[in-house]
Amino acid sequence: MTIERTFSILKPDATRRNLTGAINAVLEKSGLRIIAQKRLHLSRAQAETFYAVHKERAFFNDLCDFMTSGPVVLQVLEGENAITAYRDVMGATNPENAEAGTIRKEFAESIEANSVHGSDSQENAATEMAYFFSGIELVG
């Protein structure tokens, strides 16, 4: 059994529609535990830095516009194989391809306004959580 931590964002489409509790109910039911949480309105610089890996992609500018269009909820999740477990419960990036019962199938509006972000590797999880949280804010 490998207990991991992963980084999660509830995106502006989720906060706008008051869905943060509904989404967290799904991920908590899947066995993941929220061990850190904060609500922020990202600056343009924070969004661009966070998504720097996508800066050459055609959707980068729109993605940063969207991620700064309203508040987000930043979270660290802990659980067994948390990175894969959270990606499984999030569903495919494009909600049209997401399986029934996943967060994106149930809640996402589009590939951009897809309600949640989750780290895709241990390395990125460590980088992403360190960008927004200090060690003493992670309360496992």
DSSP state of 3: E
Rule CB under 6 A: say whether 111 interacts with ligand CMP.
yes
Q: Minimum distance between the CB of residue 1 and ligand CMP, rounded to whole angstroms?
A: 26
Taking each helix axis as running N to C, give the angle between helix 82-90 and helix 20-29, from 0 to 180 degrees, rounded to the nearest 10: 130
Rule CB under 6 A: say whether 63 interacts with ligand CMP.
yes
Is the torsion defined by CA of 54, 96, 8, 18 positive or negative? Answer: positive
Known catalytic membership, residue 117:
yes
Look-up: residue for tokens 């927004």?
Answer: 132
68: left (phi over 0), alpha (psi -120 to 50) or beta: alpha
Q: Which CB atom, from 78 or from 109, has the smaller least distance to ligand CMP?
A: 109
Query: Could you say which of 5, 87, 104, 117 is catalytic?
Result: 117
Write the interaction track for ligand CMP spanning residues 79-98; mark x where CB under 6 A is met and - where it is not: --------------x-----
Active site residues: 117
